[in-house]
Chain A
Amino acid sequence: MKIGVLVSEGPYTHEAVDSAYNFVKAALAAGHEVPRVFFYHDGVNVSTRLSVPPQDERNIQENWTNLAKEHGVDLVVCIAAAQRRGILDKNEAERQGKDADNIAEGFRISGLGQLIELGIQADRLVTFGD
């Protein structure tokens, strides 16, 4: 089955993003296809490479980056939500006149159309939020 995932809460404050990660891993292990995970609302905060959690805690961003590398899952961060919350890639940083970008490897910034497209193309769209 082709399963799309929407993450709509931020890292560490809410468990939603951890549940989404565990769900995606389990779905892939069970032979399902997870073409894309879409990060919205505070979910976009997962994609900053500048988070530095204590060493004895899980690193949520690194977990997702590794998942993208190993399984080719498309990790898409909503551009409108990202710009509100200070998540920028190189192009956006330059376009907005900011002195740095912070998006982590494996993530890409794109529009809400990617979420709608996922809903159309996937057999199921599963939301992880509050």
Chain B
Amino acid sequence: MSDVKKFLYVNRKAPYGTIYALESLEVVLIGAAFEQDVALAFLDDGVFQLTKSQETDGIGCKNFSPTFRALGDYDVTRLYVERESLEERGLTEDDLQEIMYEDEDDDWAEKPSICVISRAEMADVMAEQDVILSF
């Protein structure tokens, strides 16, 4: 496909309790095959999706959080996290998983995929997209 659009997947909901987070990730994984310019945004309760040490045995749901660490293999290397959403929930970047990707333009150097940005910067990120899918 010749035309490349900027896709942003916006994740606003907690990882469990509703299915939105899981089904959002399914779209991201399928969409990766279309070679578009893809980024993910995490805000509101969506920031909980990236927290480390998730343990779901007690609720009978699959813990899908390890999948985020595989996104780099799908060339999905930009995960924007809203700083205010973290702070409002008593979270810091240290509470999030370490998610790395190998930068093919920089001799496959390992770089972090997560980028914590302010609410105002998040608005700028959204403004430059062609397609926004909100979950």
- Point out residues on A near B: beta carbons under 8 Å: 6, 8, 40-41, 80-81, 84, 111-113, 115-117, 119-120, 125, 127, 129
Contact = CB atoms under 8 A, between A and B. Distances in A.
Contacts of A81: 23
Contacts of B26: 80, 112
A120 B36 contact: yes
Interface of B: 1, 3, 5, 7, 19-20, 23, 26-27, 30-31, 33-34, 36, 130-135
Contacts of A120: 1, 3, 5, 34, 36, 131
Contacts of B36: 116, 120
Contacts, number: 47
A81 B27 CA distance: 11
Nearest to B12: A130
B109 to A, nearest CB: 29
Contacts of B131: 119-120, 125
Given A41-B20, A119-B131, A125-B133, A111 B30 contact: yes
A129 B134 contact: yes
A111 to B, nearest CB: 7
Given A113-B34, A120-B34, A127 B23 contact: no
